[in-house]
Structure 1
Amino acid sequence: MSITPHQLDLYTSQVVDMYRALEIDIFKQIARRLKASGNATLLEWQIETLAQLNMINNNIIKELSIVSGRSSEEIKRIVSDAGYSAIKDVDSHLKKVFDPKPLPNDLDVILSAHVGQVFLELDNLVNQTLITTNYGTSLVAQMYQRIINETTAKVISGVKTLDKALEETILRWVNKGIDSGFVDKGGHTWSLERYVDTVIRSTVNNTYNELSTSRMGEYDVYTVLMTSIYDAAPRCAGCQGLVLDMRPFGKNESGYPSIYEFGYGKPGGTLGINCRHRIIPFVPGVNTNNQPVYDTEDMDERYKYRQMQRTLERRIRATKKNIIITQELGSDKLDHFKRLLSSQQAQMRDLLNESNASHLKRNYKREKVVTPKELLTKNKS
């Protein structure tokens, strides 16, 4: 059976949750180290907190090694699952037309290459830049120092007390998230969470689609049926439910449109980043297009509501992170964030009760903030 959007979410969440938990723990450690003690002067606070930078770096190196090891095991598993599922799905769809073929001899080599690419990207743009053994050069060390400098500037200006300036500065960084070190073509630096999620999601998608296409080629089948989704993104609305040719322009001899007309192969095209569609092998004259057709306006409206739900989920997670950090700081803003969380959860209930949101369900896992100890220290099941 094809990898569904829900299955893809489950695949990615296993790894992303590990890095989310690491991020929360980094901010908790920073808050704990920077929290002013007693009647310390600004200068005494600066000296004391800067002296603890190396300790934070060492603690996080230990936790990152746990995350890296456990995420590596999970990545190998999900990429392997995606690859073998692709082969089985193609064989299942074509078994009434063709005799079954043996598994490709190089399947494990192909899967290892996909896994290796993920490891390389995560290691280069997360693990190596997030924490380094060179004192003060890692992203976390730089962020720690910038929080100290920004807090100091606010206190010197006379606008804030040390406690209030620190609280405001740390919460701003918590809401911004830790940088991954990756900068896109638009000049935007991606957060750790966004980068890891995109890398894992893209790898699973690419593995499944590439092996599906390759397997169909072994049967000399190049036409596919694009699945239909009732709340499809605009980029895929024009090609869902259609029979498409997987070959490039000029080589699509089947008479069906080339999938490349819809941006296939590009991050923002069909089957690109965050695309929830799947391709099904289609033999003209044998198979039937059984995909449902959805009204465009209804589909756009459902997509809009789905995006509204995702936005609320992100806000709820952000507020929960603020609650964790204000608890660590002993801040009087804790009650404010608890009230805000209750309000956001009520907004979610109201949204899902609207008639136009009948296709949506509450997904508490998307709203959850995984705590470090819960995830990083639990035994493998």
Structure 2
Amino acid sequence: MLTPDYFYGKSDKLVELYQELEDWILQDIAMRLLKNGEISGTADRELWRLQQLGLHNDEIVKKIAKLSGLSQKEVRRILRESVMTSFSDDEEVLSKLGTVTPPLQNNAVIAAMNAEMQKTFGELNNLTRTTMLQSQKDLLNLLNEVDLRVATGFQSYSSAVCEVLDRYAQKGVTIDYPTGATRSLEAAVRCCIVTSMNQTAAQVTNQYIAEGGIEYVLVSAHMGARHDDKHPEDLRSHDHWQGKVYKIVGRDDGIENLLEATGYTIDPDSGQGTVVNPLGLHGYNCRHSHKPWDPSLRNPYVDADGKPKIDIHESQELYQRQQEQRRMERAIRKTKRELLMKKAEIDGVAETDVKEMLQPQYDKLAYKLRTQNQAYEHFCAEHDLQTQAERLKVAGFKKKQASVANGRATAYSNSIKEPMEKAENVGYTKRTEEEFKSTAQQIRREITQYSDRASMWSGTISVHDSLIDGEAIGMKEWSCNIALVATADDGILWHEMLHSCSESYYDANVYFQNQAIEEASVEFLKQTICEKMKIASVEGYADQVSILRAINGKFEYGTDMEFAQELFNIPLPERYQWLEDKVDDSLRTMGVTFSEYNDVMLFLQALKGVIQ
């Protein structure tokens, strides 16, 4: 049996190899887009595109060939160590139940190890092939989008390239699964290795179970086990089936069947273990293990009265805190990737006017990274969690890059007005509900300068870090309450308060029918307000806001503040149509060609309906 803590850090070296591949893909695509902005003429352009796709493919094949050799060596080491560690834990119980042959002297065990190893090699090869194909698609899609943006006349080539690269850096290289799920390359590799370690050790244990005719197993238990609030008694909530003895075939009084309880089964004759339900024992990213057992032995996970030693409520609270920690780590890695891409843009762009816009964007990202790191360290210290330095790493973001980013973060912090109390150095402190409420009341008074409609805010603010899914840090609920993470900045509060002057006048169906234009217009106005008031704020909905900025830059409907305010004050159900009509009038007045007209209207339609 492997302990849950055993898995921590074991996949880091392998993940770092794949991080280097992802970093190379991002940098290579950026270079190919940035260095060729002067290609003109349709025929030349098409030839160049085909050439770039071919060159990118040749280079990535070389990278993957090198990676495969290194990764297979590392996989062998990881899986062999996991087997030996698991056996050392099982050996005492196995010795009590019969004679034992060490793993490397047991042919059945060696065969099981080799089979699992080959399966792991296959899964990693699938990941690398998928990555290669996806990067080809990404490069082609980015080229097409840049050409479309330039063709509309809204942006220069360099400006368009920088915007699409920013978005690509935020997303990173992703893997799409047949189930419809999407994971980052790094997360996919980590999941593959943790699952393979667990299943390989389990298959070896199963060989000994079959050889010894053993009928029972004990499943491990740990604090912070996986829990699903929507399915607390389902096997996908690991906290209610962990730490128990199970019968492999059938059941006894007081002893459940292994398959029925956990979704995992063992063939008592062949020793073959099968993950029937991948959400249960030995499934995706599961850190639970099992070992041979007998009911006469003392279960170490229960007390003298037979009650679990682990308090399920404390375990669930720890799980939620760990999930928040993982979310913060993902956000930090994402910002580091964005900084690397922004630096590539600064180094690769020639136009002075575009370069002048890029440095402040880099500085703001650097400041964001600093506040994220501070929030992460504070969260871990407050909840007695160990910081995971390996999970914050991004290939290419070394000491030099960190030093440059830290310097630019200081420059940015010196140029802005902090609208609230600072922490020891720089960045927002955690605020209480009362502190947020006081700030929101002030915003409600000031918001009348920008909104023709009064705020519908209920006056209630709740601070629950675990309440908000994904990477959202603020939300306006349909009750007109506002929910925030404790470290949300004033810009986030402005965004939610603006919603209270807009979508709050309608029901949920109206919002979802107009989600894109609502979020775009609210965030656009929020950003212009924050720029005017020198308020530091995390920005969102970059794709949608960039469309509004490009529209106003092209047609000059006024300053960004004037245009943002005019658009926001159109009633939500009419807002997109109002904007479309306004752009339509402008295009007809300019006398553009039919093709140009269609390009612009297609560009605008990203603000229609729901956000894709």
C-alpha separation in 2, matches of 1:230 and 1:19:
30
- Asked if 1:287 corresponds to 2:298, the answer is yes
Q: Counterpart amino acid of 1:118? A: T
Deviations 1:188-216 (A, max 9, x none): 34443333222222211111112213213
Please tell me whether the aligned partners of residues 243 and 256 of structure 1 are also in contact (alpha carbons under 8 angstroms).
yes
Shift of 1:244: 1.9
What SS does the corresponding residue of 1:95 show, helix, strand or coil?
helix
Please tell me whether the aligned partners of residues 31 and 329 of structure 1 are also in contact (alpha carbons under 8 angstroms).
yes
What SS does the corresponding residue of 1:77 show, helix, strand or coil?
helix
Deviations 1:161-186 (A, max 9, x none): 32222122122222223243x4232x
Higher relative contact order (CA closer than 8 Å, sequence separation 6+): 1
Normalised TM-score (structure 2): 0.54
- Asked if 1:196 corresponds to 2:189, the answer is yes
In the alignment, which residue of structure 2 is the partner of 1:328? 344
C-alpha separation in 2, matches of 1:283 and 1:316:
46
What SS does the corresponding residue of 2:246 show, helix, strand or coil?
strand
Deviations 1:313-341 (A, max 9, x none): 00101111111111111142221211110
In the alignment, which residue of structure 1 is the partner of 2:199? 206
Q: Counterpart amino acid of 1:230? A: M
C-alpha separation in 1, matches of 2:378 and 2:183:
31
Please tell me whether the aligned partners of residues 380 and 386 of structure 2 are also in contact (alpha carbons under 8 angstroms).
yes
Q: Counterpart amino acid of 1:242? A: K
In the alignment, which residue of structure 2 is the partner of 1:225? 218
Q: Which of 212, 235, 241 in structure 2 is aligned with 1:239?
A: 241
Deviations 1:128-182 (A, max 9, x none): 3444xxxxxx3322211111111121222333332222122122222223243x4
Q: Counterpart amino acid of 1:244? A: Y
C-alpha separation in 1, matches of 2:101 and 2:19:
42
Q: Which of 373, 393, 398 in structure 2 is aligned with 1:345?
A: 373
C-alpha separation in 2, matches of 1:280 and 1:90:
6
C-alpha separation in 1, matches of 2:191 and 2:41:
41
Cα separation, partners in 2 of 1:42 and 1:305, compared to 1, 3 Å: farther
Cα separation, partners in 2 of 1:39 and 1:213, compared to 1, 3 Å: closer
Please tell me whether the aligned partners of residues 33 and 49 of structure 1 are also in contact (alpha carbons under 8 angstroms).
no
* Structure 1 unpaired stretches of 5+: 132-137, 375-381
- Asked if 1:173 corresponds to 2:189, the answer is no
Normalised TM-score (structure 1): 0.84
Aligned ranges 1:125-274 → 2 under 5 Å: 125-131=126-132, 138-180=133-175, 182-185=176-179, 187-234=180-227, 235-245=237-247, 247-248=248-249, 251-253=250-252, 256-260=255-259, 261-264=261-264, 265=275, 266-274=277-285
Aligned ranges 1:72-111 → 2 under 5 Å: 72-101=72-101, 103-111=105-113
In the alignment, which residue of structure 1 is the partner of 2:395? 370
In the alignment, which residue of structure 2 is the partner of 1:135? none
In the alignment, which residue of structure 1 is the partner of 2:517? none
Aligned ranges 1:47-86 → 2 under 5 Å: 48=48, 50-86=50-86
C-alpha separation in 2, matches of 1:97 and 1:190:
43
- Asked if 1:115 corresponds to 2:114, the answer is no
C-alpha separation in 2, matches of 1:373 and 1:231:
32
- Alpha-carbon RMSD across the aligned residues, in angstroms, is 2.7
Please tell me whether the aligned partners of residues 113 and 204 of structure 2 are also in contact (alpha carbons under 8 angstroms).
no
What SS does the corresponding residue of 1:52 show, helix, strand or coil?
helix
Cα separation, partners in 2 of 1:159 and 1:3, compared to 1, 3 Å: farther
* Structure 2 unpaired stretches of 5+: 228-236, 265-274, 303-307, 347-357, 400-612
Deviations 1:49-95 (A, max 9, x none): 55333222222221111111100111122222223333333223333
Q: Counterpart amino acid of 1:236? A: H
Shift of 1:42: 8.7
C-alpha separation in 1, matches of 2:296 and 2:139:
64
What SS does the corresponding residue of 2:8 show, helix, strand or coil?
helix
More divergent stretch after superposition (345-354 vs 144-153): 345-354
C-alpha separation in 2, matches of 1:63 and 1:139:
15
Q: Counterpart amino acid of 1:320? A: K
C-alpha separation in 1, matches of 2:167 and 2:93:
51
C-alpha separation in 1, matches of 2:40 and 2:150:
11
What SS does the corresponding residue of 1:340 show, helix, strand or coil?
helix
C-alpha separation in 1, matches of 2:41 and 2:315:
57
Q: Percent identity?
A: 26
Shift of 1:4: 3.2
In the alignment, which residue of structure 2 is the partner of 1:275? 286
- Asked if 1:4 corresponds to 2:20, the answer is no
Deviations 1:270-325 (A, max 9, x none): 33211122224332223343456232222211111100000000010111111111
Aligned residues: 358
Please tell me whether the aligned partners of residues 263 and 269 of structure 1 are also in contact (alpha carbons under 8 angstroms).
yes
C-alpha separation in 1, matches of 2:21 and 2:397:
6
Q: Counterpart amino acid of 2:280? A: G
C-alpha separation in 2, matches of 1:114 and 1:17:
22
In the alignment, which residue of structure 2 is the partner of 1:309? 325
